């Protein structure tokens, strides 16, 4: 019996049946929709546990925008004759594994998780949306170009890291774990056949993605 040494690179979920261009487009938008729904849940949780009222308000607004993005993506997927719930379920196993392996211990680690994960995944998502036709392409790019959440987290963490060297050291270590886990899962999910993304494109994007991550960490005053 021949054992595939690279089986860990294959997606966790089975490819959807009857793949065509509409399914590929809908699946790509559903991947973004899943990310927006995850962002909504995480930011809503962070808003609930925030100690400062100004943080609560900003995070609640950002969570609301993420859910609005999810709704808009869902409508477009419906217009393509596809079911956003079915498509999101297809991607769920990979996201579940990542969530289980990267459980934050406190509010700052939760913010950092969103900062690292969204930064890396958004860079990779751009490789998946490049082949989309209008209006799906413009919708996806508009969502990916919205940096309000990233800017809030960057400013908030930079403020606290500058005042607490122990927090800075802890978040730097946490960030390294997050980037390793996220890169592995991103490659896993972007090579799902239903998305129609060539694995070579994903591999070629990794150096630029990691370089962008390093720049974001430097902006926090941390070493990647």
For the stretch 141-199, pLDDT in tens is 999 999 999 999 999 999 999 999 999 999 999 999 999 999 988 988 999 998 988 88
Q: φ, ψ for residue 179 (rounded to 5)? A: -70, -40
- Alpha-carbon span 187 to 184, nearest angstrom: 5
Angle at 31 (CA atoms; ends 7, 140), nearest 5 degrees: 135
The Cβ-side half-sphere exposure at 86, using a 13 Å CA radius, reads 13
Alpha-carbon gap, residue 72 to 77, rounded angstroms: 9
**Residue 23 — pLDDT band, cuts 50, 70, 90?**
confident
On the question of pLDDT at 113 being above 80, the answer is yes
Strands (E), 91-167: none
Structural domains present in the chain: 21-220 (1.20.1260.10)
Q: Which two tokens stand for residue 175?
A: 């960030």
pLDDT above 50 for 9: no
Determine the Cα–Cα distance for residues 171 and 197; give it in Å rounded to an integer. Answer: 33
Identify the CA nearest to 60 among candidates 70, 71, 45, 73: 45
Average pLDDT of every residue of the chain: 89
* Tokens matching residue 196: 């129609």
Give the span between the Cα atoms of 98 and 80, in whole angstroms: 29
């Amino acid at each position: 019996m021949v054992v595939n040494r690279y089986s860990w690179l294959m997606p966790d979920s089975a490819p959807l049946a009857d793949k065509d261009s509409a399914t590929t487009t809908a699946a790509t938008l559903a991947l973004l929709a899943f990310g927006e729904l995850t962002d909504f849940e995480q930011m809503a949780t962070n808003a609930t546990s925030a100690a400062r009222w100004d943080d609560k308000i900003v995070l609640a607004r950002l969570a609301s925008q993420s859910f609005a993005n999810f709704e808009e993506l869902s409508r477009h997927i419906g217009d393509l004759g596809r079911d956003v719930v079915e498509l999101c379920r297809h991607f769920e196993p990979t996201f579940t594994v990542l969530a289980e392996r990267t459980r934050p211990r406190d509010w700052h680690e939760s913010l950092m998780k969103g900062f690292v994960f969204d930064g890396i995944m958004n860079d990779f998502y751009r490789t998946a949306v490049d082949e989309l036709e209008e209006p799906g392409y413009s919708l996806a790019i508009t969502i990916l170009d919205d940096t309000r959440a990233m800017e809030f987290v960057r400013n908030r963490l930079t403020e606290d890291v500058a005042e607490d060297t122990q927090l800075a050291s802890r978040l730097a270590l946490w960030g390294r774990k997050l980037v390793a886990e996220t890169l592995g899962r991103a490659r896993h999910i972007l090579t799902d056949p239903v998305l129609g993304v060539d694995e070579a494109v994903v591999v070629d994007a990794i150096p630029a993605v990691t370089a962008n991550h390093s720049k974001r960490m430097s902006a926090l005053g941390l070493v990647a």
